[in-house]
């Protein structure tokens, strides 16, 4: 009996330490690694999260932009980080596309990371230069089928949501449209405005003002429902049933991160997403808060990986 009591006394601190350690998270600075350039959607919305999470937890959440190699450099940094909740990845559907486009990258998304929380999603706007003789999505498809390979579309680079939106459009409409990649979305946008390239899928928040000003002609949005920024403009899905190509953002952590830390982060991030002030500001920008549990996010990721793998297979698109 005495031996048992001594053993129990020795084990008691072990049972007390884990909850105490869990309750103190975060006890130091948390890094949000953004594997994209400064000023882009991931960077902008990561900073909103960091500000609110810092205020709520009384610990610093900081954003570090580590772009390069199609998001691989920054993402690999997080994959190799300690799984303790202090280094997190701010990711997008570029990552789910890269699972098929970049099979030889040093990590695998669903093997080396665990889902934490989703952030938001935004629709894209399909636009053409005013000289293009098509005023609707249907007319554009007819024009593309009449002259295969004659029409072209711009993107901010291979594997980006703008590029894959075009590849998905080609696949589901069975049209031959030439992809013209650019170094940045601004360059692609300028090519369409000048008429050098005829069509583009661009962020609705950026392109809607140019469409209203007559610099481009908007044909449709890429969400399943009409955008609040352009309520009179039909979705592409109204002409091409099932078509959807949005930009979405989320947060993941290195595999092995404690489940209670994941739960804490998910709850804290979702609290930011449901903040009335944050929601109102984002909606004005065309960004819709996306609230999911880690389990729901896991299913969402797997479905998106499968979706873009099919598009990559059908289109034959590759990254050199």
Distance of alpha carbon 244 from the chain centroid: 14
Q: The CATH number of 30-121+246-315 is which of 3.60.15.10, 3.20.20.140, 3.40.190.150, 1.10.3720.10? A: 3.40.190.150
pLDDT grade, residue 320 (50/70/90)?
Answer: low
How far apart are alpha carbons 179 and 152 in whole angstroms?
Answer: 6
Tell me what the mean pLDDT of segment 248-258 comes to.
Answer: 97
Tell me what the mean pLDDT of segment 62-74 comes to.
Answer: 90
Give the mean pLDDT of the chain: 90
Is residue 307 predicted with pLDDT exceeding 70? yes
Domain 124-238 has CATH 3.40.190.10: yes
The DSSP call for residue 55 is: H
How far apart are alpha carbons 290 and 282 in whole angstroms?
Answer: 11
Is residue 21 predicted with pLDDT exceeding 50? no
| Diameter over CA atoms, the chain | 91
The pLDDT of residue 4: 43
Q: Which two tokens stand for residue 219?
A: 């044909």
Domain definitions of the chain by residue range: 30-121+246-315, 124-238
- Which neighbouring-strand residues pair with 248? 121
The pLDDT of residue 106: 96
Neighbours of 65 (CB within 10 A): 19
Residue owning tokens 């950026």: 206
The pLDDT of residue 182: 85
Q: What is the pTM of this model?
A: 0.80
**pLDDT tens per residue, range 180-214:** 988 777 888 999 999 999 999 998 877 888 999 99
How far apart are alpha carbons 83 and 114 in whole angstroms?
Answer: 10
41 against 180, higher pLDDT:
180
Whether residue 26 is preceded by a cis peptide bond, meaning omega within 30 degrees of 0, is yes
């Amino acid at each position: 009996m005495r031996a048992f009591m001594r053993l129990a006394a020795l084990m008691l601190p072990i049972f007390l330490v884990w909850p105490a350690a869990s309750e103190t998270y975060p006890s130091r600075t948390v890094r949000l690694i953004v594997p994209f350039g400064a000023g882009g959607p991931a960077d902008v919305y990561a900073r909103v999260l960091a500000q609110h999470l810092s205020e709520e937890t009384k610990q610093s959440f900081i954003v570090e932009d580590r772009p390069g190699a199609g998001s691989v450099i920054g993402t690999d940094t997080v994959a190799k980080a300690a799984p303790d909740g202090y280094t997190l990845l701010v990711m997008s559907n570029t990552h789910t596309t890269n699972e098929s486009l970049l099979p030889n990258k040093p990590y695998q998304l669903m093997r080396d990371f665990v889902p934490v929380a989703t952030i938001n999603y935004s629709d894209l706007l399909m636009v053409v230069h005013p000289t293009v003789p098509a005023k609707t999505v249907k007319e554009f498809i007819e024009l593309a089928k009449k002259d295969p390979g004659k029409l072209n579309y711009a993107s901010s680079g291979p594997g980006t949501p703008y590029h894959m939106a075009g590849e998905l459009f080609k696949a589901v409409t069975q049209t031959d449209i030439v992809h013209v990649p650019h170094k940045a979305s601004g360059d692609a946008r300028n090519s369409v405005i000048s008429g050098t390239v005829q069509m583009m899928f661009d962020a609705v928040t950026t392109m809607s003002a140019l469409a209203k000003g007559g610099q481009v002609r908007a044909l449709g949005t890429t969400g399943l429902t009409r955008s609040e920024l352009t309520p009179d403009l039909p979705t592409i899905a109204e002409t091409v049933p099932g078509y959807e190509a949005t930009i979405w953002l989320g947060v993941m952590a290195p595999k092995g991160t404690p489940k209670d830390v994941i739960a804490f982060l998910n709850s804290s991030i979702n609290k930011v997403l449901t903040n009335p002030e944050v929601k109102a500001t984002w909606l004005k920008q065309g960004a819709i808060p996306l609230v999911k549990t880690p389990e729901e996010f896991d299913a969402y990721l797997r479905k998106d990986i499968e979706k873009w793998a099919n598009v990559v297979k059908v289109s034959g698109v590759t990254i050199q």
